[in-house]
Structure 1
Amino acid sequence: MAVIETKGLTKVYNKDQVPVHALNGVDLKIEKREFTAIVGPSGSGKTTLLNIIGGLDSPTDGTAIVQGTDLSTLSDSELINFRLQHIGFVFQAYNLIPVLTAIENVAFVMQMQGRPQKECNKKSRTLLEEVGLADKINKRPSALSGGQQQRVAVARALSSNPDFVLADEPTANLDSVSTADLLDMMADLNEKENMTFVFSTHDQRVIDRARRVVTLVDGKIAKDDVREEHPNA
């Protein structure tokens, strides 16, 4: 069973005024352990697609099925809980909580899941060590570089033991060194931990590392290029 499947996914904004067709019947399957980039020009529907399969937006028509669950069948509260339990998010703007330290930011999602504080602290520390921030756990976002903040964001995304991670332009604000380090870390998690990653990106550096590249043009899949199978497949 696919981790993610969309069927006839359509999204129209401003339906009653000047309609904007962001997605036009997208059929897509993402299997476990994929390292996939969704690419295309600005306005092609990349972020809209990620938002819908992440349960952050709803389609005008069609379905988004995640781990066998049609997201349209969930109430608002059920959808919030589903995202919390199944999906990790990494955003372009990091979206860290400014008043919390790195370890507190990572622990926050687990606390929302109702896990014991001791477990939250232990796992947060372990994740930050794994992303190379063992010496920054008590630093707030303002004291971290962009690359370090994005690493915290990745650790936070992984803290909930998600079925997959959605990364929307995760390298857009990073320099070349930070981008390479971040992609190395994500590729390592994909290969060794079998973590599924789906990127929305313009960044050629991300595209070059992806094992599958899905190209959107005018809200439709124009090309689906599978470059190589997962090394552990």
Structure 2
Amino acid sequence: MKTVIDAHKISKTFNPDTIPVHAVKNVHLHLEKGEFVALVGPSGSGKTTLLNLLGGLDKPDQGNIIINDIDITKLSPNKLIEFRLQNIGFVFQSFNLIPVLTARENVELIMHLQSWRKSIINARVNSLFKEIDLLEKLDTRPAQLSGGQQQRVAVARALASKPKFVLADEPTANLDTKSASNLLDIMAKLNKDEGMTFIFSTHDQRVIDRARRVITLVDGQISSDTGVGPIKNEIAHAT
């Protein structure tokens, strides 16, 4: 299988001139197409920082991150925005839904930016909202949704344009058992059928139990890396 994410000796320090916080230290990480990975570890271990670095939301102080043969650490800000738009879906712990848009409009937005046809957008949105059991909330704004409902909309937004990678920071933290299981089922199906790569930062045992590779971080470094990688038979015919 081809390595699609290659993080080489990446480090990130916050507040270097006052009280340095070494969030990620000299991390090497190689991911193949179709992996279903959980980043785990105690609070402050560097999970979210590593996820943000892999997604190009933050830049390492040193090291390189190569995704599909493109070194994203060398892209200009505009090129990096375009790369994220075309390749990566994000699920943020704080949802980051746009408050003036309805649930439907939040999910549609990235597809409009990618110039999808309106009929395809409508079909995709309706399908996703049926999957997350929120069809009756399509035209509701985020402030009128519960935390769990907002999280489901945020996951639908991340999956909407069928990105190559989904980076999810505690995607099930606000969900009950049924909702979490349904969302994990959706993501596992996309992973299996379409070769979509998923990387989760999580404390949730429900996510960890589904992951085929578990990477443990301690003090910004990888302390263990266990698992079986991608489902090779299904991914082979999806490439």
TM-score over 0.5 for the alignment? yes
Computed over aligned residues only, the root mean square deviation of the Cα atoms, in angstroms, reads: 1.9
Gaps of 5+ in 1: none
Query: Partner amino acid for 1:192?
Result: D
The offset of 1:30, in angstroms, is 1.3
Q: How many residues align?
A: 233
Contact map agreement 2:11 2:62 (CA 8 A) in 1: yes
Which residue of 1 is the match for residue 191 of structure 2?
Answer: 190
Query: Partner amino acid for 1:59?
Result: P
Distance 1:26 1:59 in 2: 11
SS of residue matched to 1:114: coil
The offset of 1:224, in angstroms, is 0.3
Q: How is 1:63-78 mapped onto 2 (pairs within 5 angstroms)?
A: 63-78=64-79
The offset of 1:182, in angstroms, is 2.2
Contact map agreement 1:103 1:121 (CA 8 A) in 2: no
Contact map agreement 1:147 1:182 (CA 8 A) in 2: no
Distance 2:229 2:63 in 1: 29
Distance 1:210 1:61 in 2: 29
Identity over aligned pairs, percent: 58
Task: List per-residue Cα deviations over 1:91-138 (Å, max 9, x = no partner).
Answer: 112221222222211111112223344443333223323433333322
Query: With structure 1 as the length reference, what TM-score do the two structures score?
Result: 0.91
Please say which of residues 154-163 and 21-30 is displaced more in the overlay: 154-163
The offset of 1:159, in angstroms, is 2.0
Query: With structure 2 as the length reference, what TM-score do the two structures score?
Result: 0.89
Contact map agreement 1:84 1:160 (CA 8 A) in 2: no
Query: Partner amino acid for 1:90?
Result: V
Distance 2:130 2:177 in 1: 22
Which residue of 2 is the match for residue 167 of structure 1?
Answer: 168
Distance 1:229 1:165 in 2: 14
The offset of 1:176, in angstroms, is 2.8
Deviation >6 Å, runs of 4+: none
Query: Partner amino acid for 1:7?
Result: H
Gaps of 5+ in 2: none
The offset of 1:2, in angstroms, is 1.8
Which residue of 2 is the match for residue 46 of structure 1?
Answer: 47
Q: How is 1:194-233 mapped onto 2 (pairs within 5 angstroms)?
A: 194-227=195-228, 230=231, 232=234
Please say which of residues 47-56 and 142-151 is displaced more in the overlay: 142-151
Task: List per-residue Cα deviations over 1:169-216 (Å, max 9, x = no partner).
Answer: 112222333222322222222223332110001112211111100001
